[in-house]
Homo-oligomer: A and B are copies of this chain.
Amino acid sequence: MLEQMGIAARAASYRLALLSSREKNRVLESIADALEAQHEAILRANADDLADARAAGLSEAMLDRLALTPARLKAIADDVRQVCGLADPVGQVIDGGLLDSGLRLERRRVPLGVIGVIYEARPNVTVDVAALCLKTGNAAILRGGKETHRTNAAIVRVIQQALADGGLPAAAVQAIENPDRALVSEMLRMDKYIDMLIPRGGAGLHKLCREQSTIPVITGGIGVCHIFVDESADIIPALEVIVNAKTQRPSTCNTVETLLVHQGIAGRFLPALSQQMAQSGVTLHADEVALELLQAGPAKAVAVKAEEYDDEFLSLDLNVKMVADLDEAIAHIREHGTRHSDAILTREMRNADRFVNEVDASAVYVNASTRFTDGGQFGLGAEVAVSTQKLHARGPMGLEALTTYKWIGFGDNTIRA
């Protein structure tokens, strides 16, 4: 069955690659309209998913993530309309020129072809990803979380109807509706039909894809992010950056998880940190030296466990480690970081420079919050994922990351000498 989907997706991708931006925007508009017009079918499917999820004992917070309402569906449709307004990278001539051989060579941006996306139970991702793929002329094969498989199926049916109404192949957007996990393993080996695989989920999913996929995979989304508070940092603004990086949305991958504090500022900084963190409701997980300075409170402080340096809290918890100097901070990040986002707070230019050059991460910041690592914040217009690997795209991935290029050589029966 999956092979049939692959064949159909590949065939659809050939059609999509030839569409103009205007044609693609027209179908996106009609998808947005259809999502609103057919909200009843989608909300009914969602209600069924929710009933199952409630029966399975999912938490209210989790249920809320799965739930659609007419207002949420409207917001999702509006997101699709916003994608219409973005610049289409397809067709752009990246570079080119006339070679000595007489060959006129250009490098032209083209769609990737077929993109596979595996994601957790979030109905909005189904629409988001479909819209970004269509905008860039790619076909998509989607595999959403099983908790919303009916919702996803209903959404994809609406999208497929809109595609068909627009004279385009419905197979441009397909969902694997069967929640059986074995299908994921099968999908990971469809290198003949899928050109790029984007897993959006936890560390386990990324590991599975890295190990089993024969398709090029974009891994990312896991962020053990650090802030190094240098000796020369300004304490009050430093605390503001830390509050932002830790508490603005603790469940995101660009949230700070570990604070590295220069020993020369620790005596002044840690008591102020504790005050601030108590206000922000953050629990500190401190190493032995830092804990001595923190245990008086007022913030709750506990001894850090070794493995906490390597995992995301995704909660109002923050490691605090005292370091002798910048070298020790960099060494810690190299050992425990996930190459996502790391920041230094300093007034010392030389240290800022060294941090930027020596920390190997998709985004490094000087006197700024790690929370900026985001397609919207970076001005990319949209974000399909955040890559922490180094090939193809690094950091927030916008529309351009859904394209590749093709070398085109024009000759007059030109041969190689």
Contact = CB atoms under 8 A, between A and B. Distances in A.
Contacts of A113: 360, 390
Interface stretch (A53-61, A117-125, A155-163, A361-369): A361-369
B378 A105 contact: yes
B379 A407 contact: no
A358 B14 contact: yes
B391 A216 contact: yes
A33 interface: no
Interface secondary structure of A, over-half rule: mixed
Interface string A5-36: 00000000010011000000000000000000
Interface in A353-388: 356-358, 360-369, 371-374, 377-379
Counted per complex, copies of this chain come to: 2
Interface in A194-226: 195-196, 210-211, 214, 216-217
Query: Quick one: which of A238, A334, A367, A374 has the most chain B CB within 10 A?
Result: A367
A364 B415 contact: no
A316 interface: no
A281 B292 CA distance: 84
Interface stretch (A71-79, A140-148, A169-177, A240-248): A240-248
A194 to B, nearest CB: 11
A408 B415 CA distance: 44
A182 interface: no
A82 interface: no
A68 B263 CA distance: 57
A291 interface: no
Nearest to A108: B356
Contacts of A4: none
Contacts of A241: 413-415
A416 interface: yes
Contacts of A408: 356, 363-366
Query: Quick one: which of A210, A358, A372, A413 has the most chain B CB within 10 A?
Result: A413
A210 B194 CA distance: 13
A389 interface: yes
Contacts of A396: 407
A214 B408 CA distance: 32
Contacts of A405: 394
Contact of A416 (B14, B99, B372, B404): B372
Interface string A303-342: 0000000000000000000000000000000100000000
Query: Quick one: which of A195, A363, A414 has the most chain B CB within 10 A?
Result: A414
Contact of A357 (B17, B103, B372): B17
Query: Quick one: which of A18, A211, A372, A373 has the most chain B CB within 10 A?
Result: A372
A362 to B, nearest CB: 6
7 contacts: A14-B334, A105-B379, A196-B390, A362-B406, A366-B408, A367-B412, A394-B404
